[in-house]
Chains A and B, each alone.
Chain A
Amino acid sequence: MTRLATIGILTVAFMFMNPVEAQRRGNAGGQSKGKKMPASKVPKGSGRVDWGPVAKVSPGRLGSVRAKAKQVDQLLESGYRQHGVTPNRGLSDTLFLRRVYLEIGGRIPTLEEISKFRSTKNSQKREKLIDQLLSSTDHVSHMYNYWADLLRLKDNPINNNQIAQPYHEYIKDSLRTNKPYDQWVHEMMTAEGRIWDNPAVGFVMRDSNMELDAVDNMVQVFLGTQIGCAQCHDHPFDRWTQKEYYEMAAFWYPVRTRANVGDKKKFTNGNPLQRVRAEMKKIDPDANTNGLFARVVNANLFEVWDQKNRPLKLPHDYQYENAKPNQRVQMKPIFGTKIEVSANDRPRDVLAKWMTSPKNPRFAKNVANRMWKKAFGVGLIEPVDDIQDTSDCSNPEVLDLLTKTLIENDFNVRELQRIIFNTRAWQRESSFENVDLSKPYYFPGPVLRRMTSEQIWDSLLTVAVYHPESFTRPSLKSIGELLDMDLNSVSAKDVQKISEEYQEKYSSGAERKLTRERNYYKGLVLARASELPSPLPPEHFLRQFGQSDRELIQTSGRDGSVSQILTMFNGEITHMMLERGSLIFDTIVQAQTLKARTDVIFYSILSRAPSSGERRVAEKEIRATGVQGFGHVTWALINTKEFLFIQ
């Protein structure tokens, strides 16, 4: 301490690096006071988030939440007794705080948030924090990452002509307003039009021209069942037959995702792109009518509509006795009895109604099981996306209760999560023996898990950047005002103008330019994971730590690798933290004593105070290496497993 006291704060400000390097950068640590420092390169953010307000959980429901949480606990406890399981210890406030921020907000808490919680004496402070976090933009961002993985969100799903970002914004909005889950799914399944008119069409567009796969995917996501095998033959491990698959797919088969340019009634002036191209060539024979010129026209051809009379037939090589090859199939859902589809019905409306109905035995149950898994790390039924009639459920009463409650609450998923987070079981220490997934897990507590890639990234930003949440992705909501065209009348000149304006305002180049000015640091865009392009390149931090490439349903991972360690050791973001202008750097500098500075480092990174032993180690290091020691301690804590795992 004595040695440190002699070093002025100004000196500290440059010296998490070594003095030579600081000098080389022209910062000359320890210079006379009057000299002005160059501005820091670390962007700060405004502190505002330009999303609309987040729907709050209802204070009036707290009583019923408590009651339900208690019921869940009682059911779990009877499971413990029955199977001889000893529940884990209750979570300390310290561990609770970190876990609740990570699992609801998707990031670790800031120093301010920690000190606020610690100084609150209210006995209901956990309930209050859960409610506050469920009503935060952090939660929207975190849940968006979850759904982006499930729904395979890609900025340009099929090709560059197809724009999907308005759909992604629609999903964020649906999460932000806590749209009832059944309504949300229903909207996506029944949407029609162009993406800027109705962004929910992005759901149908994701599997453009793959009607059979689309049905497979939606059954897996919304019903937790895999029928894909039955696309080609009777399912070998489940009860689905190929015929049943086709009957289900028949509802979806009439859905189209591209305008038919051969439709003479619709395109009275012929193929629109050919027409404007020819027109352009007359004006300027050298004009480039590929690239953006074509793309802005083609973007208008992506539209979701329903073709009348598009029956689905069994494949020509159908091999089973119960039908003939090439036979037309009747529409029939995979569960329940046949439903009438009248001539006036749009078949997918009927399917959407069936899918999202409270009577559908799997729809509510699937999302309840998924939300449970999200909180505990293991589903009540596993695997969550391959539920079969014969699947074991480790506590069927709990799943039934959650399912019923979800339906009673009009599919309010946030209230369901609120119940889960308020259970004693969730607020227990995580299981720290190896959990054997081939045996049922009775939930003595959540299981120890590494953070998701998004949680790691967002937590690093929380440590390093003042307001990472305010770097939101430029919105494409108003893109229709520019792009929407009447394809029969639009002129070549107009198309050219539109493509130029598109280039300037909305292209990926325009986005790069904007983020470069705003939130860029040595090649990294410092925005929350939910505000970055999708999919990210394989070498991006998020991909390295397991974010999926968004090709297949929920393929994100939590495994380690050597390259992750190298990134944590040497990557830009770790070292940015040790630079002036980063949040943690500035906070350390502002603290007055060595003890306070050590506390800042531990609380910022691990959300807890150092133990006395750790404090000795840290202070010894700082005494030995001077202010560089702060950098050493910060770097070392970021590289501990305690930082990466959710206890």
Chain B
Amino acid sequence: MNFSLDPSEQSRRSFLESVAKTAFGVSILPVVDSMLSSPAAAAQMVQSGKAEHVICLFMNGAMSHIDSFDPKPGRDAGGETAAIQTSVPGIKIGEHLPVLASKMNELAIIRSMTTETGAHEQGRYLMRTSQKMIGSIRHPFMGSWLTYFEGKKNRDLPGSVIVGGGSRHPGAGYLSATMAPAPVANPATGLQNTKPPKYLTEEHFERRRRLIAQFESGFRKKYPTTEVQAYSDYYAEAVRLLKSPDLEAFDIKKETQAVRDTYGNHRIGQGCLLARRLVEKGVRFVEVEQGGWDNHNDLYGTFPSKAGELDQAIGALLDDLKASGLIKKTLIVLTTEFGRTPKINANAGRDHHPGCFSSFLAGAGVSGGQVIGSTDEDGKTVEDEHCYPADFNATIAYGLGLPLSKEIFSPNGRPFKVAHEGDPFKHVFGEA
């Protein structure tokens, strides 16, 4: 790798500069401003960006493609799941997703997803970052890339939020902590501990904050590591958030019970509702996780109800976004870490199958009503249009108008691209 051969030396320098700026406590906005105004950005391959937000539904545990978006009726591999007709002639999906079937004209399903690993953690990492998980570096997920390139829309709220997040999410990776997602463990309770105890007046809270700064100045000077700095950034962000009137975006109880019921009284439903509220207030990227898809045992004992929850939640989300018009600016994406075996195992479950799986995109710019790629008769291997995690991320990035070919340098000087070497599936957006 030769840094001096191309304009990337320039971007390397500007990256290091921006790292230096954030590392010395300059707030995020000037950095982002400088990036937006930099002519380097314009020189890169820039697409007509359509989306400004992403709601990414991540199915933790590896959702069976055969029982969801790629049914195989009449084959042993198809298991107990029947295929149902969708609103688009000629396209059928699994019977457990009737609402999505009725909205097929809004979805672009990719049935030719394929990945390299059948290990959960590695698979998720690859899906989220387009990169292999290795010990020596951590790569940013798409939400942090979006904040990096586009800045925050709402200065007071986090650039991205992960709902239901488990630990070990790659988060901002090597980017600054100001671009890290904020985790919300439980959508029903929202962001916790946002109210100070009643006895603590605003004035006293400020006194306390000043004291922190005074008591830790020595420590911060002695240990200027990114980890320590990251905590300072989180402090600043937490304080901004606490003072913001938009804080209530995190509280789904502000919605009527009827609205909450429409999304469903379960984690994925409440998660989608929270995602909608956050996007309305300018959060760029919301990832909502739903667990419980690792169906090694008794798949048909749990899958239908899980899928039913998902179906209800996405249905309500799409309807609301359409009603408010936000759908024109918001990409809705569903994915998982890999697929499940065509063969039903001895425990009436399906095991890990990285060979193929399904995802979908909807919303901003997406040309709905299409199925991209296909698998063989048993859902075992991809037959055409292989879509690797990097391609999938490139497709999202393309939809957002992010510069795919731009090289960004990590603090240790290694060049990276937003979706690695992935190629966007432009036909998702109806382009050739």
Contact = CB atoms under 8 A, between A and B. Distances in A.
Contacts of B171: 559
B24 interface: no
B115 to A, nearest CB: 12
B208 A632 contact: yes
Contacts of A21: 198-199
Given A209-B347, A564-B234, A617-B214, A437 B136 contact: yes
A565 B215 contact: no
B354 interface: yes
B40 interface: no
Nearest to B380: A317
A432 B224 contact: yes
A18 B201 contact: yes
Given A561-B180, A566-B238, A547 B167 contact: yes
Interface residues of A, number: 73
Contacts, number: 193
B119 to A, nearest CB: 5
A382 B186 CA distance: 34
Given A432-B225, A562-B234, A571-B193, A636 B215 contact: yes
Contacts of A557: 167-168
Nearest to B214: A617
B207 A539 contact: no
A621 B207 contact: yes
Contacts of B214: 614, 617
A633 B231 contact: no
A21 B121 CA distance: 48
Nearest to A433: B225
Interface stretch (A57-65, A224-232, A480-488): A224-232
Interface in B312-330: none
A288 interface: no
A565 B166 CA distance: 18
B82 interface: no
B207 A625 contact: yes
A555 B121 contact: yes
A563 B297 contact: no
B238 A640 contact: no
A569 B228 contact: no
B62 to A, nearest CB: 12
Contacts of B103: none
B230 interface: yes
A7 interface: no
Q: Which of A22, A556, A560, A647 has the most CB of B within 10 A?
A: A560
Contacts of B231: 450, 560, 565, 641, 644
Contacts of B137: 437-438
A567 B184 CA distance: 12
Nearest to B241: A562
A236 B211 CA distance: 53
Q: Which of B120, B184, B193, B347 has the most CB of A within 10 A?
A: B193
Given A229-B117, A537-B185, A566-B238, A614 B207 contact: no
A367 interface: no
A562 B204 contact: no
A232 B118 contact: yes
Contact of B225 (A229, A434, A559): A434
Interface string A545-582: 01111011001111111111111011100010000000
29 contacts: A17-B197, A209-B346, A226-B119, A229-B118, A232-B118, A432-B223, A432-B225, A438-B137, A538-B166, A539-B185, A544-B183, A547-B167, A551-B120, A559-B230, A560-B227, A561-B180, A562-B182, A562-B191, A563-B184, A565-B238, A570-B197, A617-B211, A621-B207, A632-B207, A636-B208, A636-B211, A641-B220, A641-B223, A644-B231
The 7 closest A-B CB pairs, nearest first, are: A636-B211, A21-B199, A538-B185, A438-B136, A383-B135, A565-B238, A570-B193
